[in-house]
Amino acid sequence: MLNVANLHAFYGKSHVLHGVSFHVQPGQIVALLGRNGSGRSTTAKAIMGLVDCRGSILWKEREIVGKKAYQIAHLGIGYVPENRDIFPKLTVHQNLLLGQKGAGKGARWSFKDMYAMFPRLLERQHTEAGVLSGGEQQMLTLCRTLMGDPDLIIIDEPTEGLAPKIVELVGQYLQALKAKGISVLLIEQKLTIAMAISDRVLVMGHGSIVFDGTPDGLRADAYVRKEWLEV
Ligand SMILES: Nc1ncnc2c1ncn2[C@@H]1O[C@H](COP(=O)(O)OP(=O)(O)O)[C@@H](O)[C@H]1O
Ligand SMILES: [Mg+2]
């Protein structure tokens, strides 16, 4: 469904991705792991049309390299960036409303669904988003993206800075999305959650994919873990 082939990405003259290839099948959770600076966020930005790139990104058999970010979003790819950019002065409810884009009618998710899945957001629906805790903001960003009715969610380090209990909760929510048929590309540094919920794992190093396999395969591969993951 998402097929990335020989992708190169650039920030000005700086060449950051060097021929990245991988795919995500419908209903799969695929983890993209790697150390800081390995190129994971750049991969997400390239898919979303937010960075200069070359190569091929097929989404539902259609080439999306060269398309604008809003066009890519409308084709059904949801993006939760690493900085959780909520609108701090708007309420929780207003933030969700902004996520609806063109979706609205016939969309898979309603406000009711969001509030049922995240009761904390219902309690705080009239609160300014800026005063929510980190975990609540992460949930709000995820919900806002879901309101756009994506078939694939790219979520960049959702557990960064969250307490272990909340990290577990995020894992459960991602699995709930998968149960609804949504694919997830999960960018992470934390191995535990990624290994627990992913169907496949990719490891990035220096702007290339250095491992593509199953969680069990990565568990068995001490070399890859030592060389590209452990700090
Ligand atoms: N806006 C930018 N301008 C120039 N270089 C960047 C920019 N963002 C990231 N980089 C560089 O690209 C490389 C990959 O970064 P990134 O994709 O953010 O890695 P990761 O998300 O895996 O931590 C790093 O060397 C980083 O310094
Ligand atoms: Mg990053």
Q: Which is the CATH superfamily of the domain at 1-76+153-163+185-231? A: P-loop containing nucleotide triphosphate hydrolases (3.40.50.300)
Q: Rounded to an integer, what distance in angstroms lies between the CA atom of residue 204 and that of residue 20?
A: 9
Burial label for 121, CB within 10 Å (0-12, 13-18, 19+), is buried
**Could you tell me which of 164, 180, 165, 170 has the C-alpha nearest to residue 80?**
170
Ligand 1 binding pocket includes 13 (Cβ within 6 Å)? no
pLDDT at 102: 61
Domain ranges of the chain: 1-76+153-163+185-231
pLDDT at 118: 87
Q: Rounded to an integer, what distance in angstroms lies between the CA atom of residue 115 and that of residue 196?
A: 26
pLDDT in tens, 107-150: 788 888 889 888 999 999 999 999 999 889 988 999 999 999 99
The whole-number average pLDDT for the span 188-199 is 93
Spatial CB neighbours of 47, under 8 Å, sequence gap ≥ 6: 2, 4, 57, 64, 72, 77, 79, 154, 185
If you compute the radius of gyration of the chain from its CA atoms, what whole number of angstroms results?
17
Q: Is the pLDDT of residue 104 over 70?
A: no
Question: Which ligand number lies closest to the CA of residue 83?
Answer: 2
Q: Rounded to an integer, what distance in angstroms lies between the CA atom of residue 129 and that of residue 146?
A: 17
Q: How far is the CA of 156 from the centre of ligand 2 (A)?
A: 7
For a mutational test of ligand 1's pocket, the pick from 7, 10, 16, 79, i.e. the residue with the most ligand atoms closer than 8 A to its C-beta, is 16
pTM for the model: 0.94
Q: How far is the CA of 116 from the centre of ligand 2 (A)?
A: 30
Alpha helices in 75-197 (DSSP H): 92-99, 111-117, 119-123, 134-146, 164-179, 191-197
Q: Is the pLDDT of residue 185 over 90?
A: yes
